[in-house]
Structure 1
């Protein structure tokens, strides 16, 4: 079959890889001039199955109010929000209960753990350089209250069979020696040794080159204007360069999937949540991290690449605004400067923003739709990099009519009661 994939971020390219491996003719179309130029460009760099949990959790509404009142707020809501924003926020709030959290987390963990296995399998097939490290993730706590509160997270990890280590201050310094310079600022941590790190942009571009070897065609600089449909199927994709046709169509456009799908009557609750990152060149190895550190207080991740530090954080509910707000830099800059002073060159840091495609329950939307030949792979939120290979393999199997490696329960759009 000829399959047209809309979007060349990490989700679109991993999908193309698996579909091509299964023998399909694959074309990837994107408005950018090369792969991974939007949400996949400068994310936090974590492959973190252990942190695959929905934002919608018991107690989050109260926490969110407190966060927004902090000087270095990890969450911000634009006062000019519209009806669609309020609708999505309402759906998220309805998931902030123990029963929904348990169900949603189980679905996300199922997909994330599978994706990690896919990463291991891919590395056994291909020699791809993407600054990969397999040293785990360390969540650092600045207060005893945070240590005590981690007991709930630990019980979920045990239930899901995720390896973890509870560390005191000395244990954190042993795992991340540079924290020894600021040991008095932390009291303990929770380490997930199975997590990995890497540069999503480098990975996506390297895998795109491997896709080309399998015959995948990439159509860049091609603006997608809309889907063309009849009552039962998609008959084409309208672009500024003309109409593109295929046997099957796969939507991998992240937050923008919502807009295109709505025009053909497919409703998905995927909403853009704006995030920010800094990328710093390392100037002192002894003061730089060796893997990923999650600052529980400020909800910021600090990740080590080969010769750079990536700092990602902040959630801004502001619809499709992609303007780079300089005042949002303060939150991510503070964490890296506070925990790893002198490790990277702040003056040379590259500041970036991107839109995370979030669902109200945290689980992405994978699989078919009301149209027989239209499929979706979108809505991964902050976990697109983590879930990318697993999602790509899962959707490729669905399109090919294969039995999926993991249980498909709760992964499709039908969980929202519609197609």
Structure 2
């Protein structure tokens, strides 16, 4: 059997790895328009493996905050309305998912997949000894607003029942866990800490795993645009590509797996498969660390500005913002300046502010934040996409789950997999 995987981010490479381990295929080919794996949404994301924050954006508290933020020039969320029907369809469904029963259901699904994926990542890390600036110092979430801090307790209580333990912290406890936050101590009101969460460089991990896939005879076709899937007699027979010289070519396979993130709906729509996935652009800024003792090691979440902070070796990554503006990856100076100013405010003596690297990526978000993983209505066509801000957190588990599904096995945790 031959399997064609479309996309080489964390989900494509993870899927390739687990399919190669399953023994179901004697030939696997990974196809991508870029020159190497993990150069798109997996490239410079926030770096957190955050099971403790596997909670849906779609809830009434966030909806009310979003309405307030949208009216501000500088806010964690930017909405640029357009004539795109898909944009409005997504937002209508988002509001429906804010109903309390939907929130609890979606949170359970997200936590189940995130916990499973974190365990899978740990096992792979121990087995393969991949270097990716990994830190297992937990995630510390800090608050500067008392009302928001108290509201978060309700979510923490729900998560505790689902097996995720957020420990409530006083200001002094926050500083004890991460002394680098001393510069903003006076503005803090409390926080939460989850010691089981982790951080690491998704790009480094994905590229190293791709190298190991190559050693196990997985083939890679980079610099090939994926034009369309060819459908005949109830099945996909081939994928039409355009190479870097502009020539068309087809690749035949028995199984096709789509892991194209925000671009998955575009490829599948002509086949009558409608995915409610919309690009939620996020930004990051990466700073060289110039004072190792004063820069934080614990991964952080700033709940006021919805930013995450991850120490990646001798670099500090700050990421955040949600920009609903279609498929443009152009940088917004307001969002970039927010990242820079936040870094200067919090870590004034530890980072090199003159050599910052900015990046943006299109996170493929479903209205519920529950990703779409499984078998489509076409017999030999599968999908692994729609992970939104938790693509890195859910990456290894989603890849293993889709490999099991292709192999005729049902993953052993509760989740709304397609086709099962």
Give the count of matched residue pairs. Answer: 413
CA contact (8 A) 1:74 1:331 kept: no
Deviation at 1:53, TM superposition (A): 0.9
Q: Distance in 1 between matches of 2:181 and 2:331?
A: 30
CA contact (8 A) 1:314 1:331 kept: no
Deviation at 1:316, TM superposition (A): 0.4
Which residues of 2 match residues 306-325 of structure 1 at below 5 A? 306-325=313-332
Deviation at 1:230, TM superposition (A): 2.2
CA contact (8 A) 1:35 1:204 kept: yes
Stretches of structure 1 lacking an aligned partner (at least 5 in a row): 415-419
Q: Could you say which residue in structure 2 is the equivalent of 1:40?
A: 42
Q: Distance in 2 between matches of 1:53 and 1:412?
A: 21
Instruction: Name the TM-score, length of structure 2 as normaliser.
Output: 0.96
Q: Does 1:300 align with 2:302?
A: no
Q: Could you say which residue in structure 2 is the equivalent of 1:287?
A: 294
Deviation at 1:413, TM superposition (A): 7.5
Deviation at 1:130, TM superposition (A): 0.1
Q: Could you say which residue in structure 1 is the equivalent of 2:246?
A: none
Helix, strand or coil: the match of 2:237? strand
Task: Tell me how large the CA RMSD over aligned residues is.
Answer: 1.3
Deviates more, 1:51-60 or 1:66-75: 66-75
Deviations 1:231-286 (A, max 9, x none): 41111100014001111000000000010000111111111111000000001123
Q: Could you say which residue in structure 1 is the equivalent of 2:6?
A: 6
Helix, strand or coil: the match of 1:287? coil
Q: Distance in 1 between matches of 2:114 and 2:233?
A: 35
Q: Does 1:86 align with 2:99?
A: no
Deviation at 1:152, TM superposition (A): 1.1
| 1:73 maps to which of 72, 75, 79 | 75
Helix, strand or coil: the match of 2:256? strand
Helix, strand or coil: the match of 1:155? helix
CA contact (8 A) 2:74 2:334 kept: no
Q: Distance in 1 between matches of 2:146 and 2:368?
A: 29
Q: Could you say which residue in structure 2 is the equivalent of 1:55?
A: 57
Q: Could you say which residue in structure 2 is the equivalent of 1:417?
A: none
Q: Distance in 1 between matches of 2:295 and 2:5?
A: 39
Which residues of 2 match residues 19-418 of structure 1 at below 5 A? 19-23=19-23, 24=25, 25-70=27-72, 72-80=74-82, 82-241=84-243, 242-407=249-414, 409-412=415-418
Helix, strand or coil: the match of 2:393? helix
Q: Distance in 2 between matches of 1:403 and 1:368?
A: 12
Stretches of structure 2 lacking an aligned partner (at least 5 in a row): 244-248
Helix, strand or coil: the match of 1:244? strand
Stretches of 4+ moved more than 6 A in 1? none
Instruction: Name the TM-score, length of structure 1 as normaliser.
Output: 0.96
Q: Is the alpha carbon distance of 1:96 and 1:6 closer, same or farther for their aligned partners in structure 2, counting shifts above 3 Å?
A: same
Deviation at 1:117, TM superposition (A): 0.7
Deviation at 1:68, TM superposition (A): 2.3
